[in-house]
Every structure is written in structure tokens, then in C-alpha cells.
Amino acid sequence: MSVLGFLFSACLLLLVVSSARAHEPTEEGVRLSEVAVTAERPVAASSQRFIPDKDILLQPQGRPGNLARLVPGLVTVEHSGGAGKADQYFLRGFDADHGTDVALFTDGMPVNIRSHAHGQGYSDLNFIIPETIMEIEVYKGPYHAQFGDFATAGAVNFVTREKVEEGVVQLAGGQFDTQRHLLMFSPIAGRVRSLVAAEGYFTNGPFINDNRYSRFNGLVKLTMNPTVRSELSLTGTHHQGRWNASGQIPFREVEAGRLDRFGFIDPTEGGRTMRSTGRLQYHYDTTAGGTAFADLYAQYYRLDLFSNFTFFLHDPVNGDGIEQDDRRGVYGGDVGYRQSGDLLGIASTATLGVQARIDDAHVRLGTQHRRERLGTTVDADILQASYSPYLKLEFQLMPWMRLVGGARSDVFTFDVKNRCATCPQQPNGKTDAKIANTKGNLILGPWFGTEFFMNVGTGFHSNDARSVVSNPNAQILPRATGYEVGFRTKQWDRVEFIAALWSLDLSSELVFVGDEGTTKIRGATRRYGMELGARINLVDWLTLAGDVTLTHAEFRGTGGAIPLAPEVTGRADLTARLPMGLSSSLQMLHLGRRPATEDRRATAQPFTVFDLVTRYKLPVKIERGRLEAFLSVMNLTDTKWRQAQFFFESQLKNEPAPVGDIHFVPGPPRMIMGGVSWYF
């Protein structure tokens, strides 16, 4: 037995014995009346947050990925000139692409997809119905033992409701042929809590090439208590979407007036996707202060993506259209035991668990013209698995001192089989890797409503299986090392202020370029910065909140810029909640100028956009239930802005040679959307 295992066993034994002496067992058949307890949950870092549903409901409707913008410092943008594809994520100096360094979860089930056909860690949030989310949990940095792969810049967990007190039927519409309809209710009452939700969405978007994006989402969740000490939750979801895209267009054409900013080069870009998930969550509370838990999940995922980034650079006849296909099943879970009690007079909690995940995937990259296949570049079966035991310990050493620490070990296996007989040089083979990481968090206070935090930890993100079997000398699981100090203070029950200084080093990056089927090795990187956040209740019904993140990111040794790494991000909102039933929020999002190339000779344009969302409980008497109207104005000032921006070479059909240029997806213009909800 390892030293770590021995220490945990000793702690756990002492906790069980002391807890059993301190708590008399209760007979299984006795039911106690419910007692509501309200308190702020303890956090391990100043950057850790819990975002409630009241903030979620005051967001513009249409793109579920925009919920992630509620996370301080996290910016999401549309990536392909048409909704339907996963967002591009920016956090703590990372252009995390579609999710490589931001771990995303729903009810603890991972959203990131490993060794995805389009990009490592691909995280499509379009299967989320925002109204079903009860809370968003935010954990920044690699300081939390329960998170492993992709949780370098941070981790975000979307927690769904168990039930709703009122059912809702919603009809909404807006500009650009946009429609969104929602049904949500809890059909079963009593000992079983239930939630049923269905969403339909359609838009053509502002693009000249109609987006024709259609989305259907469904969710069913049942929660029950098999015994007075246990709880079981079963959740199923289904998502389908299809869309046309205008792609990333060259700035030179827009600047010259030859192309409208909502125009296109290749009108056949777009895709279709499907995701079905099943989740089981169970826990049993012992009479000795312990909890046994099991969270299991299964997913089936499919994507067909048609893109054209370089136009006619490689194929002057058919163009450079590519097709990326992904079919996979994902299975896994988190099983463990948590024990609370007194250890030598110290209030303590120990959690021992093991997480496992298996991806069984078929991924393909090939050339296409107008969505007709021309050839195959990569065609592979991938079987990738990870097994991750972890330990988390919490000690209340003094009334003013708390220690939260832990460790985890992650073991990966990779098995790639080349299915393309005409592609002998493509990835094929097996390998494995393992990594151990430790975490430590010291919390001091509170004194006069103020707590201080010191955090240190290591984490990692996995690299694409096709890369690691092709390059045996590369780092398969590059390590991230993070440090953070900060404080949070709440004064007069009206003012809350949060500040943090942080740094994060990543040892190496090996990137599989899914759009080309090639591997790219990037060097070690360093990021550091400062975060400031505040929330002020100006009066009982009016709140001002905001945050700003300042970041420096560079390659270690060379000092070169990390392309597209955000240097300044900011968000603010002014929210009124009047007793007359009116709620309104004016919101601002800012992403600053950032280098588009390592030598900083090209830059990505900054943007600042404003949104306005209003909900009003109509004073109309109806036979059953109540009515609520809502209105949202996105890009209130009608700013001309760019979302995703990249610098690379492309060539148009009438150009004699390749041209290095910024290619971008335009941000939507002012868009008005409104509707009515019937609560019953």
C-alpha cells in the first residue's frame, strides 16, 4: 500500500469511529419534518463561484453557449458563421479553441470530447436547455482534486433542476426568421420529483447565405428517495441540430468592398449533429456521517461537419472543402465514498473516489466539393480510456483557518487503428501514459466579512490519440502548474468585492490539427494575470455587478505571443428587479485586442457589445396560471464587431498566390426578440 493510501485509510478509519460515537443511529423508517437551512457554501479559492438561476433567466435567448459568459473572465464567440457548431472559448489567457483547456460538465457528466474529429476537447453546449439549469458551478485553475482532463484554465459544471414549481409554455420570435418554443413541466408530484422539457429553435441569422439552423432539445429527469437515507436521479437528454454556415471570411475582401461582411466564399459549409445522453446519480448517507456515491453516464454522439478555410489554396479546381465526421459512444462515471467527522478534535472530511471514461470512436477527415466526398485523409477507429483515482481532504484547523487539499492519478490508454487502405502514413498504434497531480488550498478568515485564499496545484490536458501514437517522443499529458492568491469581502450586506492574482505554466502542447490531419508541437507557455470582480446592491431592487481580467501570455524561452490569447476581458450588468413584476438587465461584454500571430505583426480586433433583457409578469387575470412577457435586444448599439478571428494564408480563385490575412466571423447586428410565457 502506498503512503498516500495508508494515510487516507488511517484518516478514514478515525473519522468513521469518531463519527459513530458522536451520532446515534436513527431507525430507517422514521421520517423527520423538513427544515430549511440557508447559508453560503464554503469555497476553496476566491475565483470559485456559484451562479444562481435568477441570473441565468435574464440572458438573451437562442445560443446556450452564451450561458458560459456568466462565468467571470470566460468569453464565448461563434466560430463558423452560423450557429450549430461548438463555441470558441477564451479564459485566463487561453484561446481554448472548442474546449482544450476548459473542462465543461452537466451534472458532473463531461461535455468535452477527446480526440474529436474537429478539435481536442470539443465542447458543444447546444444540447443544454437554459431554463433547466438551476446553477452554474465555477472552478478556475488546477486546484480541485475532482477535476482532471482539460481542467487547466478551469472547470464549469451546469447543474440541472429536479423539478419546477410551475410548468411553462413559451412562444418567442424575432428578426432573421428566428423562433424559439419551450415546454417545461413536472408531471409527477409526491415522493418522485420530475422534470420534462422540450425546446425547438430555428433561425436564418443575419447572413446572406441563410443559416437555416434548426435545433431540437429534450430532457427527462426523475429524482426519488428509495430510502430515507438515499437518493436516486435518472436523466435522459436528446439533441439534434443542422445548419448552413458562411465560414470565416477574408478581411481583405470585406475591406475592398468586394464582399459583404455577412457574405460567404463557399455556400456549402455547415453541418449536422446529434447527441443522446443518459445519467444515473445515486448517494447513500450512512448513520456515521458518511456518504457513498455513484454518478454514471453514457452518451452517443454524431457530427458531420463541412468546412472550407483556405478556399482554393490547395485545390484550384474543386476548392479546399473538407469533411469531418465523428461517431462515438462515451461511457464512464465517478464512484466513491465521503466521510465527515472529527479527526483528533478537528472537523474533517475525506473523499476517496475513482473516475473512469471510455471513448469508442470512429473519426474521419476527407476532402469534399459541395458536400460530395472526393477523398480520404484520415479514417481511424479510436479506443481511448482513462482511470483516475483521487483523494480530497478538508480540515477546519482553526475557526479562522481551513485547509483543502488532494491528489489524483490519471492513467490513459490509446488504441488507434487506421481504416484507410490508401493512407499508410496515417496514425496507427497503441500507447499509454499516466500522470499524478496534487492540489492545496489554504483559506484564512473570515475577519470582518473577509476571507483570504492561497492556492497551488497541478493539472493537465490530454492530447489527441492520433497525435500521441504518431509521436512517441512528445508529451502525451502535458502538465499545468498553477498558483493563485486572492481575497473576497462582503460588507454591509450590499457590497461584495473579489480579487485574485494567478499564474499558470503549461509544459508543452502537442496539437492535432484536425482540419489538416497533421500534428503540431508547441513549446512551453506561461500565463499570469489579475482578476477583479464586484457586486453592489445599490438599492433593494437594483444591482450592479462586473468583473475584469488582465492577462499576459507568452511562449517560455522565446517570449513570443500565444496567438489569440486574450489580454483583457470584462463583463458588467445593471439589473433591476422591481416588486411590480418587472425584471430588466443591461449587460456589457468586452474582449480586448489580442495578437493573432506569434510575432505580433497581426492583431485581432477588440469588441464591446451590449445586450438588454426584460421580463414582465403581466397583470392579466386568466383562469389558470399567469402570463409573463419578455424582450431581448442583442447588440443594443448595433456595433460592427468580429467574433472568431484567425490569421492564416488563403487563396481565392482569382488570386495568383496565397495571401496571409485575418479571417473572421462577423458578430450579429442589433437583433430584437420577444415572446410570452404561460406559467401553469
b/e for 419-438, b at 16 or more Cβ within 10 A? Answer: ebeebeebbbeebebebebe
The one-character DSSP state at 186 is -
Residue 504, C-alpha cell as written in the block: 499558470
Predicted pLDDT of residue 2: 42
The three three-digit cell numbers of residue 266, written as one number? 463557399
Query: Contact 324/365 with Cβ under 8 angstroms?
Result: yes
- Write the CATH number of the domain with boundaries 3-21+41-391+399-418+437-679: 2.40.170.20
**Distance separating alpha carbons of residues 497 and 535, to the nearest angstrom:** 7
> Rounded CA gap, 129 and 619, in Å?
27
Is residue 347 within 8 A of residue 396, CB to CB? The reply is yes
- Residue 151, helix vs strand vs coil: coil
Q: What is the pLDDT of residue 23?
A: 41
d(CA 591, CA 570): 7
d(CA 616, CA 540): 18
In the block, residue with C-alpha cell 470539443: 122
Q: Are 411 and 380 in contact (CB under 8 A)?
A: no
**Residue 464: which of 123, 125, 118, 155 has the closest Cα?**
118
Q: What is the rounded CA–CA span in Å between residue 493 and residue 239?
A: 42
Picking from 140, 175, 172, 155, the residue whose alpha carbon sits closest to that of residue 109 is 155
Which candidate, 150, 145, 142, places its Cα nearest to that of 456? 142
Question: Can you give the C-alpha Rg of the chain in angstroms?
Answer: 25
Find all residues with CB under 8 Å of 586, minimum gap 6, and list them.
Answer: 573, 574, 575, 610, 611, 612, 636
pLDDT in tens, 131-166: 999 999 999 999 999 999 999 999 999 999 999 999
Please choose, from the candidates 76, 95, 152, the residue with its C-alpha nearest in 3D space to the C-alpha of residue 596. 95
216: β partners? 200, 240
State residue 508's pLDDT score: 85
CB 47 within 8 A of CB 500: yes
* Cβ atoms 382, 361 nearer than 8 A: yes
pLDDT averages per 10-residue partition of the chain, 680 residues: 40 41 42 56 94 93 92 93 89 94 98 96 97 98 97 98 96 97 93 96 96 97 97 98 96 97 96 98 96 98 97 96 97 98 93 98 96 95 98 97 98 97 88 97 96 98 93 88 97 94 89 59 91 97 98 93 95 96 97 94 96 95 91 98 94 96 96 97
Alpha-carbon span 254 to 265, nearest angstrom:
11
Query: Residue 337 carries which side chain, given as an amino acid letter?
Result: Y
Q: How confident is the model at residue 79, as a pLDDT?
A: 85
Copy the grid coordinates of residue 613: 433583457
pLDDT of 516: 66
